[in-house]
Structure 1
Amino acid sequence: MDFLTGSTHLHITTWVVALILFFVAAFASKSKGIHMVLRLFYILVIITGGALFIEAMDYGQGMQYGIKFLLGIIVIGMMEMVLVRQAKNKPTTIFWVIFAISLFAVLFMGFKLQMGINFLA
């Protein structure tokens, strides 16, 4: 399973595609098919993230990577809550806020931790 943990590129690709699909589904009028494909990408993000989480134990920062993993699950949960509640014509404001805050936190942690990309170097 080295292809999952050789670098973070596969994981980054899956969550970028998932975010694009989420915004398309959130702002499209009929998005049932897109929502189903997005659910597949949720699974791919979790699998690649889980593999990287296991690999991160070698860095001795398991708790920080664990918090990042939980934040990632919260992001996926809020994405799903927004789409499902929009389909039922219920208010989604609080879920958008939680989504934005948790997405910012998980991206910050992901790029800051040792397996992340250092943009300033």
Structure 2
Amino acid sequence: MFDNTHAHITTWVVAIILFFVAVGLHNAGKKKGMKVVHMILRLFYLLIILTGALLFWKHQGINPALYGIKGLVGIWVIGMFEMILVRMNKGKSTNVLWIVMVIALLIVLYLGLRLPLGLHPFA
């Protein structure tokens, strides 16, 4: 089942979409809808971590150090998603968190595409 990355990519693509839907609902003032989407997004955090861990354990012999770094940066991205949404709900500034999230997201996408299980657009 985890010979390829389809399940993992699907979960993080859906999570990114849900994150921006939650941000849009917050900006539109729909707190209840944002809360529902935020809870669904938290389920997808778990699915991302689960599918990533299964891929890591199955293919850890390929390049365990870089895949480990990718996993940590992926968890960093999830943390930034959560911190941005929680701080938005509290009415606090999120400018720095957005910058950190974009940097972490670019790093994790680069590593994910560059490593052996990726699509290799940079090779």
Runs of 5+ consecutive residues of structure 2 not aligned to the other structure: none
Alignment correspondent of 2:73: 71
Whether the 8 Å CA contact 1:56–1:65 is kept in 2: the answer is no
Deviation string, structure 1 residues 39-86 (Cα, Å, up to 9, x no partner): 000000000001111122121x10100000000000000000000000
Tell me the matched-pair count.
117
Output the aligned Cα RMSD: 1.2
Structure 1's consecutive aligned runs of 4 or more residues displaced over 4 angstroms after TM superposition are: none
Of the three residues 37, 48, 53, the one matched with 1:50 is 53
Equivalents in 2 of 1:15, 1:83: separation in Å? 17
Tell me the TM-score normalised to structure 2 length: 0.91
Equivalents in 2 of 1:97, 1:120: separation in Å? 24
Q: Percent identity?
A: 50
Of the three residues 88, 91, 96, the one matched with 2:90 is 88
SS at match of 2:92: coil
Alignment correspondent of 2:8: 11
Runs of 5+ consecutive residues of structure 1 not aligned to the other structure: none
Q: 1:107 aligned to 2:109? A: yes
Of the three residues 23, 28, 41, the one matched with 2:44 is 41
Tell me the TM-score normalised to structure 1 length: 0.92
Specify the code of the residue in structure 2 equivalent to 1:52. Answer: L
Equivalents in 2 of 1:100, 1:56: separation in Å? 27
- CA displacement at 1:120 relative to structure 2: 6.2
Specify the code of the residue in structure 2 equivalent to 1:37. Answer: I
SS at match of 1:58: coil
Whether the 8 Å CA contact 1:14–1:41 is kept in 2: the answer is yes
Whether the 8 Å CA contact 1:78–1:95 is kept in 2: the answer is yes
